[in-house]
Amino acid sequence: MTEQNYLNTPEGEAKLLQDLLSAERAGARVASESLQQCDDPKMQALLEQIRQGEVESCKLVLNCLKHLGIEPNRETGAFYGKAMAIESLEERLPFVDKGQQWVIRKLREYLPGCEDELIRGELEKMLHIHEVNSKAA
């Protein structure tokens, strides 16, 4: 079974959604804490845009999990620790964009085989948020 096929099984879908939720929590925390360290207005605007996108994405994933009757995890992804270990904001931002790219890649792998209209709609919104934020970064 290819990864593409696995993603579109109930187990694969549940794992993907839980992984995305953990990753979005991590991204929101990284953006929020980075914002507190930043005094450049241009970078502040970008970090706030990313933070809002991550928070909105958490809500979208939570909607999907609720729709499927799956209890959401409470984890923050390992991305948080890795990103915050990068002290310089100028160096951290490209790493944050790698996180955006990971989400984009995962969603593009999953969506073609998604037959659930609610999940497809929520994750297409999430994909759009990440594409916009990745271009901005």
In terms of Cα–Cα distance, which of 5, 121, 133 is closest to 64?
Answer: 121
Tens-digit pLDDT profile for residues 52-103: 999 999 999 999 999 999 999 999 999 999 999 999 999 999 999 999 999 9
User: Where does 3-136 sit in CATH, by number?
Assistant: 1.20.1260.10
Confidence of residue 7 (pLDDT cuts 50, 70, 90): confident
**Comparing 3 with 133, which gets the higher pLDDT?**
133
Confidence of residue 4 (pLDDT cuts 50, 70, 90): low
The per-residue DSSP string of 4-66 comes to HHHHTSHHHHHHHHHHHHHHHHHHHHHHHHHHHT---HHHHHHHHHHHHHHHHHHHHHHHHHH
DSSP code, position 2: -
Contact 108, 50 (CB under 8 A): no
pLDDT, residue 3, reads 57
Confidence of residue 137 (pLDDT cuts 50, 70, 90): confident
pLDDT, residue 1, reads 56
**pLDDT at position 2 over 80:** no
pLDDT, residue 5, reads 72
The per-residue DSSP string of 65-123 comes to HHHHT-PPP----THHHHHHT---HHHHHHHHHHHHHHHHHHHHHHGGG---HHHHHHH
Tens-digit pLDDT profile for residues 93-134: 999 999 999 999 999 999 999 999 999 999 999 999 999 999
